[in-house]
C-alpha cells in the first residue's frame, strides 16, 4: 500500500473498531445490570442485547446504497450520530424498554456497507483484499477487547457509564472520519464490496452460500444467547463477584486467541479448510454441552468457554474467506452483504431466544439449545463442497460493447491459472478467480492491452 492507502484503511478500521467496541462492551455485564431496570423480564433482557442486530440487518444494505447517491462521509456520519443517540438513550433509561429502544437506534446506524465502499474508493484494486482483511482484524480485535474490558469498566463506571463512553467513541469516530480519512476523488460502484440488488436472488438460492449464511447466523445466535446466561452462572452458581468477572474472561480470551492461530494457519497452508471448519463446529457443540452439564467448577466453566472461543474465533476467520471463494466472481459484494445481514439477524434471534429460554426453562436450557443449534449447523456444513484455493484479481479493461466484453472474458479464461472470468462492461473491469501459482499477471495485462 502507498501512504494514502495506509492512512485511509487504518483510519477506517479504527472507526469501525471503535463502533464495534461500543456495541460489545456491555455483553458480559448487561444481564446482571438489567435486573435493576423497570419492567424487566429474561426475554426482554435478551431482546435488549440482540435488538441491534435486527436494525443493522434492516438498514446495512440500504445505507450502502444511499452512500452511492449522497456520498460516503455524510452517510457514515449519520450512522455514527444515530449510534451516539442510541447510546445516550440507553444510558439515561431506567426501564428495560428504554434500553431496547436505545440499542435499536444504535443498530440503525448501520455503516458497514458504506465504510467498505469508502475503503474501496480510496484503495487500488490490487490492495482491496488486504484492506478488507485489515478491517476484519479490527472487528475481531474489538470484540475480544470489549469482552475483556467490559467487566473492568462496569466495576468503575457501571453499565450506564459504558453507554456514555460508547457515545463518546462514536463522536471520536466522526472526528477521525473528517480529520484523518481522505476525501475520495470520485465515488465509484465496487461490486466486489457492494450489494447489487439484481444479484440477490441468485445469491439467496445458492446452496453453498446458504450453508455459510446459515452458519454465521447460528454462530452469532449462539454467542448472543450465551451472554444471557453466562453472567448468572459466574455470579449465582460459582459465587464470583461481578467486579471479578473480568479476571475470569481475560485469560480465557487470551489463550483462545493463541489456540486459534495454529488452526487457521493449518487450514490455509495445508488446504484443510473444510476439515478444520467441521472440527470447530463440533468443538463448539462440545463446549456448549460442557457449559450446560457442569457449572459447579470455575475450571470446568472456564475450559468450556475456552473451547467455545477457540472454535468461534477460527470460524469467524474462515467464514468470510469461504464466502469470497464460493461466491460467483462478479457477485462477491452481494454475497458479503447477505452474509452480514445473516450475521446481524443471528445476533437478534440469539439474544431474544436466549432470554426467552432462560426465563421459561432455566439457564441450563440455553446452553443445551446452543449445542443443538451447533449440531444442526454441523449437518448443514457436512454437505459443503471443498473450497477451491483461488484468489480474486481485477483488471481495468476498455471494451466497446457487451459482445467484446464476452469475447475478452473467453480469452482470459484460456490463460493458465484462470478459473473464472467475467468482464463487466459498465464497470470497465475484468473480475477473475485465479490460482496464483499458475497465473501470469503480465500475460493477462498484455492480453487486455492488446484487446483495447
- At residue 136, what are phi and psi to the nearest 5 degrees? -65, -40
Structural domain contains residue 344: yes
Are 154 and 142 within one domain?
yes
What is the distance between the terminal CA atoms of the chain, rounded to a whole angstrom? 28
Element (H, E) at 391: strand 391-396
- Whole domain around residue 168: which residue ranges? 1-185
Are 331 and 357 within one domain?
yes
Question: To the nearest 10°, the Cα dihedral for 341, 345, 346, 352?
Answer: 170
Structural domain contains residue 262: yes
Total tally of structural domains belonging to the chain:
3
HSE-up of 55 (CA within 13 Å, CB side)?
22
Are 306 and 429 within one domain?
no
- Cα separation, 274 vs 268, whole angstroms: 10
Question: What CATH number should be reported for the domain holding residue 101?
Answer: 1.20.1250.20
Are 363 and 424 within one domain?
no
User: Count of CB atoms within 10 A of residue 270's CB?
Assistant: 10
Are 223 and 141 within one domain?
no
For the sheet containing 418-424, what is the strand order?
A: 391-396, 429-434, 418-424
Are 369 and 265 within one domain?
yes
User: E-strand spans in 136-283?
Assistant: none
Are 270 and 333 within one domain?
yes
Are 117 and 172 within one domain?
yes
Structural domain contains residue 98: yes
- Looking at 371, 389, 407, the residue that finishes a domain is 389
Question: To the nearest 10°, the Cα dihedral for 178, 180, 185, 191?
Answer: -90
Structural domain contains residue 192: no
Structural domain contains residue 191: no
Structural domain contains residue 63: yes
pLDDT tens digits, the chain, 452 residues: what are they?
A: 788 889 999 999 999 889 888 888 999 999 999 998 999 999 999 999 999 999 999 998 899 889 888 989 999 999 999 999 999 999 999 999 999 999 999 999 889 889 988 988 888 777 777 887 788 788 888 888 888 889 889 988 999 999 999 999 999 999 999 999 998 887 777 777 888 888 899 999 999 999 999 999 999 999 999 999 999 999 999 999 988 888 899 899 999 988 888 988 888 888 888 999 999 999 999 999 999 998 889 999 999 999 999 999 999 888 888 888 888 888 888 999 999 999 999 999 999 999 999 999 999 999 999 999 999 999 999 998 887 778 778 888 887 788 888 888 888 888 888 888 888 877 778 888 888 888 877 777 777 665 54
Task: List b or e across 250-268, with b for residues whose CB sees 16 or more CB atoms inside 10 angstroms.
Answer: eebbeebeebbeebbeebe
- Looking at 389, 413, 437, the residue that finishes a domain is 389
Are 154 and 119 within one domain?
yes
Question: What CATH number should be reported for the domain holding residue 428?
Answer: 3.30.70.100
Are 180 and 227 within one domain?
no
Are 25 and 95 within one domain?
yes
Structural domain contains residue 243: yes
Which residue, chain included where needed, has cell 441468485?
Answer: 202
Structural domain contains residue 193: no
Are 285 and 224 within one domain?
yes
Is the model's pTM score more than 0.75? yes
- Looking at 153, 185, 217, the residue that finishes a domain is 185
Amino acid at each position: 500500500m502507498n501512504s494514502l492507502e495506509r492512512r485511509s484503511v487504518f483510519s477506517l478500521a479504527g472507526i469501525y473498531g471503535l463502533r464495534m467496541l461500543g456495541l460489545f462492551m456491555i455483553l458480559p455485564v448487561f444481564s446482571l445490570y438489567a435486573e435493576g431496570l423497570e419492567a424487566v423480564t429474561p426475554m426482554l433482557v435478551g431482546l435488549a442485547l440482540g435488538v441491534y442486530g435486527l436494525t443493522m440487518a434492516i438498514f446495512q444494505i440500504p445505507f450502502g446504497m444511499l452512500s452511492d447517491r449522497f456520498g460516503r462521509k455524510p452517510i457514515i456520519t449519520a450512522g455514527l450520530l444515530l449510534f451516539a443517540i442510541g447510546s445516550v438513550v440507553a444510558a439515561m433509561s431506567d426501564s428495560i424498554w428504554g434500553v431496547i429502544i436505545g440499542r435499536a437506534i444504535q443498530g440503525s446506524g448501520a455503516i458497514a456497507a458504506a465504510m467498505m465502499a469508502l475503503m474501496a474508493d480510496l484503495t487500488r484494486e490490487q490492495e482491496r483484499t488486504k484492506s478488507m482483511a485489515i478491517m476484519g482484524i479490527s472487528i475481531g480485535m474489538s470484540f475480544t477487547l470489549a469482552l475483556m474490558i467490559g467487566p473492568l469498566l462496569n466495576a468503575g463506571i457501571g453499565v450506564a457509564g459504558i453507554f456514555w463512553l460508547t457515545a463518546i467513541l462514536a463522536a471520536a469516530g466522526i472526528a477521525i472520519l473528517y480529520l484523518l480519512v481522505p476525501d475520495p476523488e470520485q465515488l465509484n460502484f465496487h461490486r466486489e464490496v457492494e450489494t447489487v440488488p439484481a444479484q440477490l436472488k441468485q445469491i439467496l438460492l445458492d446452496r453453498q452460500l446458504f450453508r455459510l449464511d446459515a452458519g454465521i447466523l447460528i454462530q452469532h445466535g449462539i454467542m448472543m444467547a450465551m451472554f444471557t446466561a453466562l453472567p448468572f452462572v459466574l455470579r449465582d452458581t460459582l459465587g464470583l463477584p461481578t467486579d471479578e468477572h473480568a479476571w475470569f474472561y481475560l485469560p480465557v480470551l487470551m489463550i483462545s486467541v493463541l489456540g486459534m492461530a495454529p488452526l487457521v494457519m493449518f487450514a490455509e497452508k495445508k488446504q484443510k479448510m473444510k476439515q478444520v471448519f467441521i472440527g470447530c463446529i463440533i468443538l463448539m457443540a462440545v463446549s456448549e454441552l460442557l457449559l450446560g452439564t457442569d457449572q459447579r467448577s470455575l475450571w470446568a466453566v472456564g475450559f468450556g468457554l475456552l473451547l467455545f472461543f477457540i472454535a468461534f474465533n477460527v470460524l469467524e476467520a474462515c467464514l468470510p474467506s469461504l464466502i469470497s471463494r464460493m461466491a460467483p466472481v462478479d457477485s462477491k459484494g452481494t454475497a458479503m452483504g447477505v452474509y452480514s445481514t445473516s450475521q446481524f439477524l443471528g445476533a437478534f434471534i440469539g439474544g431474544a431466544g436466549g432470554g426467552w429460554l432462560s426465563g421459561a426453562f432455566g439457564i441450563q436450557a440455553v446452553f443445551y439449545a446452543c449445542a443443538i443449534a451447533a449440531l444442526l449447523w454441523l449437518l448443514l456444513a457436512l454437505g459443503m463442497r471443498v473450497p477451491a484455493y483461488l484468489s480474486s484479481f481485477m483488471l481495468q479493461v476498455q471494451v466497446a460493447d457487451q459482445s467484446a466484453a464476452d469475447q475478452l472474458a473467453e480469452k482470459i479464461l484460456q490463460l493458465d491459472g484462470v478459473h473464472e472470468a467475467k468482464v463487466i462492461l459498465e464497470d470497465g473491469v475484468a473480475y477473475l478467480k485465479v490460482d496464483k501459482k499458475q497465473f501470469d499477471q503480465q500475460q493477462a495485462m498484455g492480453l487486455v492491452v492488446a484487446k483495447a
